[in-house]
Structure 1
């Protein structure tokens, strides 16, 4: 009969604490698919019911990688030169304000950005030197300046150049992660590779064309006051004898399909400033709404600074049209009837709900500093993914069976306990993957199998040291505990070395290598926890609670 005190002693053992952790972890890690549970069982009786629950069981937070779920794998190149050119454009525009504030008497007769430099041309060499001295005084921290004859050359300082290049890639990763997350794709993986490449993995994608458009859209939003609207580009150029001044550009409107030819043509052309009055970098939120005619539009909100700038811009341009330009295409040009305060406005003239949703996603996630160019794309079929899952699952089963046979035949009951420890090890690896919301790929399964094979080494080391203790005359309990103490340093040393190897692989490897390194490192952590602490708690439970005094080792 179990007494109250004995029951309390059992519940307070370290082993029962481990059991509690496993039960709680199982509650959060596993769930049942309600759709499968609602379906009738394939077979009658308890067998059919158990089969249905088995089929409905799923890992809640572990997402399948692209090689298991199928989907889209693509490699994109970041146009770093465009990022540099855009920054030079900002610097170029700031020169006008500097010249005005410093009352520069002789202004440059021409300004252009070419081959990564701003080139200012003057009438005389003296005027060029005066401008150089002025800019050197103010811009020496961000620009590398030199004067040659009647021209001043300005390029980005090396440190700023490196910052912009690395920042463009990091920002692309951040924006695409947010953008594709807003699209609703689970298991998205966006990582940088090398100096300018971004690798995107999208498991289970059903509309790759739409996703590709979301990725490639720079979402570079600009607000510019419309100077003139024309039916053709030539009609706008005629007023300037066919050549625009450097401070003006022509942008096209959204394309429409010509019913006669079936080709896309711009609906209108717009004459606007070469430099934006405002950009969309201050937008903090956006969502899809409906106007009074039940047509979709996109409402965006700006931060406090952007709201003030927008209010000032609209107040100074009442009765004029403000152009909303995305990626050099005029998407809307509403007339300003009054100053727009509050930092919120709408983009109208959107053709469909799908277009409105996509526009809202890209505005909310932010614009890309530099455009992306598709370099490689592969599609993985779901059937191939299912085959990979089956083979990966079978590899785990075969590995476990081989380890079980070796452990049981060589160590008997302690070997069986080591196999139980391995199962707990596998449970914790899956639990860690769930906690970190990580994706599991075929290379990740390989990492799990490898970590399981390595995990048995901890038990072998402990048991071999315990045999030495038994040979020296120690009791079974003292020998096992002594084996744990003697093997601890060796176990920690070997696992830390392997963990550091996995860390290097994760830092410098591609997506597949990173997934392998992730599961390998998680397996190492699980090995230390289970191979040392769980197994020891299990032996203490057997010795102290079950009163086992002898065991063949």
Structure 2
């Protein structure tokens, strides 16, 4: 008998209502997007009246997920950046000097005095000069003992350092295996930090991919310019806390061995001579939040981990009355005098910040420092006008395909065709509901996938209706004909859609960019098409049949 259990009917209608509810925010795209951005800004600390009013534009009890528009639809920023991996080699050698110094300090009777050439570090080498050439072999043996195994599958059994002697100089460089492992770690870390920075400031669905050996492709829809994107990711945000040796009025002044001279960010023409080895670095930060200082000016409060808190507390206890420089990316943000012991590992960074600058700085510090600098090889800003043209063309294509299919189904199958058309409209809503739920990005190829789905969505209904026609010719009653039509067409529907779904999966796994966008909408369209054809259309027919009880039907 042609019937559907009550619990199945409730479940089918619940899925439909949920899908359409999730798709609804896309009908009010600009309004919902503004409210979402305002809510994100409030969470980051910008709790202003303007943001609260904007967030209230969309009711909080309704879904607020949107289908993100890709770069080709919305416009945005495109960057191709090269990671300067050699910067990491220099940083490693600079950080290694204290270990070499401490290891050799106890052997001065054999090797004499030791001095290092800070200029050599720029070439990725650490050069240490000893005054007694006869002690070279002993010195080399000591430094080689500082080497560690390479942490890499390809560098198994190798050490991270190469140590050799040149005259009276010990030359230390990273081994080839360690350089390869460092390059790989640097690229992975850069990708993750860029992703965290861009995601945290509220942009939608960035494309961040590695290209080649040392390049990263970054595309962010919705940004007004490539410069705005560079401002977010172009800062390495390397934060250090360094002891101040003295102030200087010129960058040409010699800082002395083991020191460096850096400019002040706020005071023009003022430079600070600092000890090159920091007391604490930004890597030991666990949190950073925008805040205000005691005078109500924007600032950034921070917290160290246990190790950083201990070092920070010990240094401030031992150096009360001495200036202490807070350095960000080679510039001294501030150099306050330590007034008292600062336990607990927390503090505040003050400067001439705006609220926006303090918020962005907190984001950068939370995301972590880029391990190396970036050189932008290519930058493009794609205007929203080009994206709007694509959207308009996609709308026209979708509407033409949609109307043509609706007219064809109604003309070919009459009332049953109208049921299929209702299911098709629900199908489009479910596609956008699933895209919104997953936070997927819709691109121009994705629109093509939806247009293709519109045509494919009625295939299952065509198979069912043609099968019902065949069953009616054998003089069976309407109810039995409808029931057999669905039963006998089911295998063909499943087989056809499974093969197409496998193709969509392969396109998603093997493809990238636009190909993936097409695969996502095609795959989701197949799932919703099967659901609407097998369950929704059948439920509509059963409800109609139960109400009318016709003795004869025409399909």
Q: Which of 482, 489, 497 is residue 487 of structure 2 equivalent to? A: 482
2:146 is equivalent to residue 143 of structure 1: no
- For residues 85-484 of structure 1, the aligned pairs below 5 Å read 85-99=90-104, 106=111, 109-110=115-116, 112-113=120-121, 116=124, 118=126, 123-124=133-134, 125-127=136-138, 129-131=140-142, 133-136=144-147, 143-145=160-162, 147=164, 151-156=170-175, 158=177, 161-185=179-203, 187-195=204-212, 196-206=214-224, 209-234=227-252, 236-237=253-254, 244-245=256-257, 247-254=258-265, 266-463=268-465, 475-484=480-489
C-alpha contact 1:222 1:277 (8 A) present in aligned 2: yes
RMSD of aligned residue pairs (Cα, Å): 3.8
Q: Aligned partners of 2:463 and 2:100: how far apart in 1?
A: 72
In structure 2, relative to structure 1, the CA distance for the partners of 1:82 and 1:418 (3 Å cut) is: farther
Out of 432-441 and 516-525, give the one that drifted further: 516-525
Q: Offset of 1:188 from its aligned partner?
A: 4.6
Number of residue pairs aligned between Structure 1 and Structure 2: 506
Q: Which residue of 2 aligns with 1:509?
A: 512
TM-score, normalised via structure 1 length: 0.78
**What SS does the corresponding residue of 2:146 show, helix, strand or coil?**
helix
C-alpha contact 2:239 2:327 (8 A) present in aligned 1: yes
C-alpha contact 1:173 1:190 (8 A) present in aligned 2: no
**What SS does the corresponding residue of 1:320 show, helix, strand or coil?**
coil
Q: Which residue of 2 aligns with 1:5?
A: none
Q: Which residue of 2 aligns with 1:70?
A: 75
Q: Which residue of 2 aligns with 1:47?
A: none
Q: Which residue of 2 aligns with 1:497?
A: 502
Q: Aligned partners of 1:175 and 1:376: how far apart in 2?
A: 20
**What SS does the corresponding residue of 1:61 show, helix, strand or coil?**
coil
Out of 220-229 and 106-115, give the one that drifted further: 106-115
In structure 2, relative to structure 1, the CA distance for the partners of 1:82 and 1:402 (3 Å cut) is: farther
C-alpha contact 1:444 1:515 (8 A) present in aligned 2: yes
Q: Offset of 1:310 from its aligned partner?
A: 1.4
Q: Aligned partners of 1:395 and 1:284: how far apart in 2?
A: 51
Q: Aligned partners of 2:104 and 2:489: how far apart in 1?
A: 77
**Deviation per CA, 1:366-404, whole angstroms, max 9, x where unpaired?**
222222222222223333333332222221111112223
**Deviation per CA, 1:168-222, whole angstroms, max 9, x where unpaired?**
344334333443444444x251411314333334444357645432221111111
Q: Aligned partners of 1:530 and 1:172: how far apart in 2?
A: 44
The runs of 5 or more residues in structure 2 that have no matched partner are 33-61, 151-156
Q: Aligned partners of 2:429 and 2:547: how far apart in 1?
A: 25
Q: Aligned partners of 2:224 and 2:147: how far apart in 1?
A: 55
Q: Which residue of 1 aligns with 2:44?
A: none
In structure 2, relative to structure 1, the CA distance for the partners of 1:478 and 1:292 (3 Å cut) is: closer
**What SS does the corresponding residue of 1:135 show, helix, strand or coil?**
coil
In structure 2, relative to structure 1, the CA distance for the partners of 1:515 and 1:481 (3 Å cut) is: closer
C-alpha contact 1:128 1:152 (8 A) present in aligned 2: no
**What SS does the corresponding residue of 2:247 show, helix, strand or coil?**
strand
**What SS does the corresponding residue of 1:226 show, helix, strand or coil?**
strand
Q: Offset of 1:143 from its aligned partner?
A: 0.4
C-alpha contact 1:13 1:541 (8 A) present in aligned 2: no
TM-score, normalised via structure 2 length: 0.78
**Deviation per CA, 1:238-297, whole angstroms, max 9, x where unpaired?**
xx7xxx42x2221111166xxxxxxxxx43112222332211122233233333433332
Q: Which residue of 2 aligns with 1:24?
A: 18
